[in-house]
Structure 1
C-alpha cells in the first residue's frame, strides 16, 4: 500500500541536521530540497569540497534556482564525525553501490545513537548490509525518480522529475520517514510514503535492469536510441524482472511494462546513470542493478534468459573497460 499524504511530526524548535554522504548530482539535488525545507544540511563532497565550501552548489532546475550553500562541507566522513558535534538526525547515503565499497564501514563514524539512515541509491537487496551493521538505527529506503547530472565541480543540472519514494526497511512508515518526507514537501517536492518499500524497489528495477545495462552495451546510448533500436528486447527484459519480483513475493501490476515504456517514449532523450558512468570511465553498478536480480531468479529457478545474457555481456564489457 502507498500513500501520497504525510502526517508530519509536530514542529521542533531545532532544525533537523542532515549529513549527505555522496553529495554528487543526486545527493546535492535532494540536499537543496531539504535545505529549502528547513533542514541544516552538511555534505561529504570529496573532490568537490573546496569549490562547494567556497561557492556552494549551483543547481539549475525546472523548479527554479536550487543553488545553496551547505552549513558544513567535509572531504571525509571521519571529518564530518569529528566536526559535526554528535551524530546527525539523518544521514543520507547517496553513493554508488559498488562491489569494492563497504558502505556500512564508510558511514559508521558519523552514525549517532539517534541517527536515522536514508538510502538514496539504485539496486535490489542493497539495504541488508546497512540494517545488519546498525540494528538500532531507523533505516529509510529511498527510490529516486530523477534526472540530474554533475556538469562541473559544484554544478548540477536537474533535467527532469525528482519524486522520491520512501519507507522503512523492510516495511512500514515510522516517524523518521514521516518527518523526512515533510522536509522534502516543504522544499518543493512531495515525498511519496510507502509501507512496502521493497516492492517499490522492484517496481523501479523493472526499468533500471533493462535500460541501464542496455545503454552501456549500446555504447552509452540514450533512451530514444534504445527504444528505436530494440523495444521488443527491452519489453522482454522488463517482463523477466516482473517474473522475478513475483517469485520474491512482490507481484507488480500487469500493465507496468507497457506503461513504463510509454512514459519513457514521452520523456526527452535521457542517458541513464550507468551510461554516464560508462562514458566517464567510472565503475558500474552491475551487481546492484542487474546481478542481484539474476541471483534472485536462480534462488527461485525463475527463467530469465534475456537478463542472464545481458548480465554476462555487461560483466565482459565492464572487465574490458577496467583493463
Structure 2
C-alpha cells in the first residue's frame, strides 16, 4: 500500500464521542479521509473541528471531510472502513445505525467495550469483513467538540471471530502513522476477555462507590481485594470458555492503573451524568458466560445485581 493510496482510504466513524474522535484524529494524521456521524455536536464540529487535548501526546484538531447527521448521508460511495464506536447499551440498534453506509467491500471496525458483542453485527453483515478492536485508553469528552486524553491509547484488534487480514494490517498501518501503537492478534476474542479483566472489575466498583476514580478504588486493601476477586473470576470464566489468560495479567493491570493518573471509568462518568451505562456489555455478558460455563462467580454476580438496582433507580422519574 503506497502513501498515496493510504491518504485516499475513506473512513466513516459512527459514534463520534471521545473514542471515535480520538482515533478519528489519529486516522486523519495517518493519511485517511475521515468523516463523522456527529449528531448532537455537528454544528460545533463544523465550525471548530474536534479538539483533542493531551499533555502526553500534544493537542490536535480533527477536521472531518464530512460531518453527518446519519450514516445514510455519507457521500461519494461506501467507505473503505466503517468504524462503529457507540456505547453498547440496552435498546440501541447498532445494525440500523450503520446499514445505509455499508457497501459490499466495506470493512466494519468495532471499537467498543465488552465481551461477546460481535455476533449481532456479524449476523447482519455476513459478507463483510469484521474487525474487532479494543481501546486501552483513558479519554473523555469534556465539552461539546472537546476531548481530553489522560493516558494510554493503544489499540488491539484482529478479524472476528479469528484471523488477521491485509485490510486489518492496513488499518493498523494508518493508526501507527497517526501515532497509535497497535497490537494485531489472530485471537481477538481472547483479547476481549483480557480487557474484560479490567473492565468488569473497575467499572462496576466505580459506579457502586458513587463515582469513584481509580485511585479511590485501589486506595484501601479492601478495595484492591475486591478488584482482584472480580478479576480472578473473569479469568476463570474466560478459561472455561476456551480463552486462557495469563495469571500475571491481574498484577500487571493493577500496577499500570496505579501508575496512571486518577481516572473515572466510562461507566462512572455515564452514571454521574445520568446517561445509559454499558452494564450488559461490560459485566452482564461476562456473568451470563459464567453461568453458561458453570463457573462459580459470586463477586461478579453481586456486582452485576447491585448495578441493575442502581440502573433501576436511575430510570425512575425524579
- Is 1:314 matched up with 2:307? yes
SS at match of 1:64: coil
1:11 offset after TM fit, Å?
4.8
Whether the 8 Å CA contact 1:33–1:66 is kept in 2: the answer is no
1:65 offset after TM fit, Å?
2.0
- Is 1:69 matched up with 2:60? no
TM-score (norm: length of structure 2): 0.96
Unaligned 5+ segments in structure 2 are none
Counterpart pick for 2:224 among 201, 224, 231: 231
For 1:142, the equivalent position in structure 2 comes to 133
For 2:149, the equivalent position in structure 1 comes to 158
Whether the 8 Å CA contact 1:34–1:187 is kept in 2: the answer is yes
For 2:192, the equivalent position in structure 1 comes to 201
SS at match of 1:210: helix
Partners of 1:149 and 1:257 in 2: how far apart? 25
Whether the 8 Å CA contact 1:124–1:288 is kept in 2: the answer is yes
Q: Deviations over 1:55-76 (max 9, x none)?
A: 1111111211221210010112
Unaligned 5+ segments in structure 1 are 1-8
1:176 offset after TM fit, Å?
1.1
Partners of 1:287 and 1:187 in 2: how far apart? 32
Counterpart pick for 2:9 among 16, 36, 41: 16
Alignment of 1:145-294 (within 5 A): 145-229=136-220, 230-294=223-287
TM-score (norm: length of structure 1): 0.95
1:312 offset after TM fit, Å?
0.3
Whether the 8 Å CA contact 1:125–1:292 is kept in 2: the answer is yes
* Aligned length, in residue pairs: 312
Whether the 8 Å CA contact 2:153–2:181 is kept in 1: the answer is no
1:170 offset after TM fit, Å?
0.6
